[in-house]
Each structure stands twice: as structure tokens, then as C-alpha cells.
């Protein structure tokens, strides 16, 4: 009697548990997805400037619309004044918007390409001072990765009272490792820095004693022969033509020279960026 051949049953795979990955064939690996950090926000351009200062833009647009709407219903002279006021408000808005686009979107401001002429040997160990908005430290660390960087943020609603700074800070939060500070107390060792950067930071301190205290602290942190790089709009003819009354938010050139001189720093160089921004370098004595 011949034996009946064995019937081969199909091999069954063990049931998959919920959430388990299906088995992979030998020699093949499933790609592993690694979480990626969100990209940093792009440097502020005209769109962001409008967002930070939207109440001023809303007021300007409102004044323009109100003047043009009222003019047809007014006597001749008041109507002419209303139209003139409306056109002036519109011109100021257009001029400041165009100037912001030229400086923040089109120039080399954010790329720091202008810095090589001021610091041909690089920044060395450096401190970046911010007052609520830091758009300098990341580019510096990318361009000079072998240098040691410290960041101090002086943001304090009692000192930096502009609403635009609060809105900017929400969009660009402080970078990891940023230390809080005060104009009269920077958490940085004495004579530890080759360079200190204050880019659009010092003018946000609206009281002269706070600015004077900051410059004294900057001098303390600089090594002998160290450099302060100060970047600011100035309250001058070109900025007044571009920003109108908004230029009164900036400080005149003589104020920065006064502060540096009072802190024991002497002017070394001064250069223009996109006509409307001035970069100063001040140096501490080598003695």
C-alpha cells in the first residue's frame, strides 16, 4: 500500500500587532524618518516691517481714505487741505515702504557682506546684543563657525516700550542659549570679547542713561583693542526723506559719537549700507 503524499500547507505569518511595522524582506531596510527642525524665519523684509508697524500703516491708510472721502463734501479751502493731507499721508506710506524694501530686501544688510571691510580679520570671540529682535547672530555663526559667540537680549517691556518690538519678538524668538541682560549689567566676563555687535539694538533704549550704561558695559566686556560694531539708521536728511516723522525714532549721529566717547571708545570707521543705514566701528584702547 503506497503512502499518501503529505499535503503542504501555506506558511502563515504571525498576525501583526496594531502599530507594528510589517516585516521587511532580507537585505532591505525601511527608510527611517528623522524629525527635522523647522527652518529659521527669513530675515525681516518689507512685509515683516509692515507687520511689526501695522498700527502706523493702518493710521496712514485711514487718514488717506478719510481725507479723500471728506474732500468732496467740504468748502473749497478745507477740501484742498483734506486732499493735501491725504496725499501727504499716502506719499509717506509709499516712501517708507519703498525705503524698507530697498534696505531690508534688496541690500547686503542681512548677509553681512559689508562686514569684511570693517573687520578684515574676522570678529573673533564676539558678543551679540539684541533688544527683542536678533537677526545677526545666526548669520555670524554661519560665516564664522570657529569663533565663540554669546548672545544677550536686553528686551524688557519697561525699557523697550515700542509695540513693534513685541510683535517682532513673537515672530523671531530668541535663539537657544540667549541670556537675558540689562543695560547696566551684561552677563559677560570683563575683557572677554574681541568684538561686540549692536545691530539696530541700542536705539530701542529710549532713555539716554540706559544707552550710556550700555556703552559703559560694552567697554567693560571688550578686550584691550576690541571693537564695537554699531549698526543704526540715523536721524538725518536721507532717513527723514525716506521715513518722514518715523525718522525721529532714530538717534542723530552725534549721539552715537557722544556715547562712544563717554565710554572710552574711539571711532575707527564708518560706512553706509544702502544709503540709509550706517555701520560704525569703535575701538577700545589697547592700553
Residue 277, domain extent = 115-284
Q: Write the CATH number for 274.
A: 3.40.50.150
Same-domain status, 162 and 275: yes
pLDDT values of the chain reduced to their tens digit, one per residue, 287 residues: 444 445 554 555 554 444 444 455 444 444 444 445 455 666 778 888 888 888 888 888 998 999 899 989 999 998 999 999 999 999 999 999 999 999 999 999 999 999 999 999 999 999 999 999 999 999 999 999 999 999 999 999 877 777 788 888 888 889 999 999 999 999 999 999 999 999 999 999 999 999 999 999 999 999 999 999 999 999 999 999 999 998 999 999 999 999 999 999 999 999 999 999 999 999 999 87
Same-domain status, 204 and 148: yes
Cβ contact 250:234 at 8 Å: yes
Same-domain status, 134 and 264: yes
Per-residue confidence (pLDDT) for residue 35, from 0 to 100: 44
C-alpha cell at 8: 503542504
| In-domain check, residue 17 | no
Same-domain status, 151 and 260: yes
| In-domain check, residue 19 | no
Global pTM value? 0.81
Give the residue from 246, 235, 249 showing the smallest Cα distance to 206.
249
Amino acid at each position: 500500500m503506497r503512502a499518501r503524499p503529505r499535503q503542504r500547507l501555506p506558511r502563515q505569518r504571525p498576525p501583526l500587532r496594531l502599530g507594528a511595522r510589517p516585516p521587511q524582506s532580507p537585505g532591505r531596510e525601511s527608510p527611517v524618518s528623522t524629525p527635522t527642525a523647522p527652518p529659521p524665519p527669513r530675515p525681516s523684509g518689507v512685509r515683516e516691517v509692515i507687520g511689526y508697524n501695522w498700527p502706523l500703516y493702518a493710521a496712514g491708510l485711514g487718514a488717506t481714505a478719510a481725507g479723500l472721502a471728506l474732500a468732496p463734501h467740504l468748502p473749497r479751502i478745507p477740501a484742498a487741505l483734506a486732499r493735501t493731507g491725504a496725499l501727504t499721508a499716502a506719499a509717506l506710506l509709499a516712501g517708507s515702504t519703498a525705503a524698507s524694501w530697498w534696505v531690508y530686501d534688496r541690500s547686503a544688510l542681512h548677509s553681512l557682506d559689508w562686514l569684511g571691510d570693517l573687520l578684515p580679520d574676522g570678529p573673533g570671540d564676539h558678543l551679540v546684543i539684541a533688544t527683542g529682535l536678533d537677526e545677526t547672530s545666526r548669520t555670524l555663526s554661519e560665516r564664522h563657525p570657529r569663533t565663540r559667540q554669546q548672545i544677550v537680549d536686553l528686551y524688557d517691556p519697561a525699557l523697550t516700550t515700542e509695540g513693534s518690538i513685541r510683535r517682532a519678538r513673537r515672530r523671531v524668538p530668541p535663539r537657544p542659549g540667549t541670556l537675558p541682560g540689562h543695560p547696566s549689567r551684561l552677563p559677560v566676563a570683563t575683557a572677554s570679547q574681541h568684538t561686540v555687535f549692536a545691530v539696530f539694538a541700542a536705539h530701542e533704549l529710549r532713555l539716554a542713561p540706559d544707552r550710556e550704561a550700555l556703552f559703559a558695559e560694552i567697554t567693560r566686556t571688550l578686550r584691550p583693542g576690541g571693537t564695537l560694531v554699531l549698526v543704526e539708521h540715523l536721524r538725518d536728511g536721507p532717513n527723514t526723506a525716506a521715513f518722514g516723522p518715523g525718522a525721529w525714532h532714530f538717534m542723530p549721529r552725534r549721539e552715537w559719537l557722544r556715547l562712544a566717547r563717554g565710554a572710552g571708545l574711539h571711532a575707527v570707521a564708518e560706512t553706509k549700507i544702502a544709503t540709509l543705514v550706517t555701520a560704525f566701528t569703535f575701538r577700545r584702547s589697547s592700553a
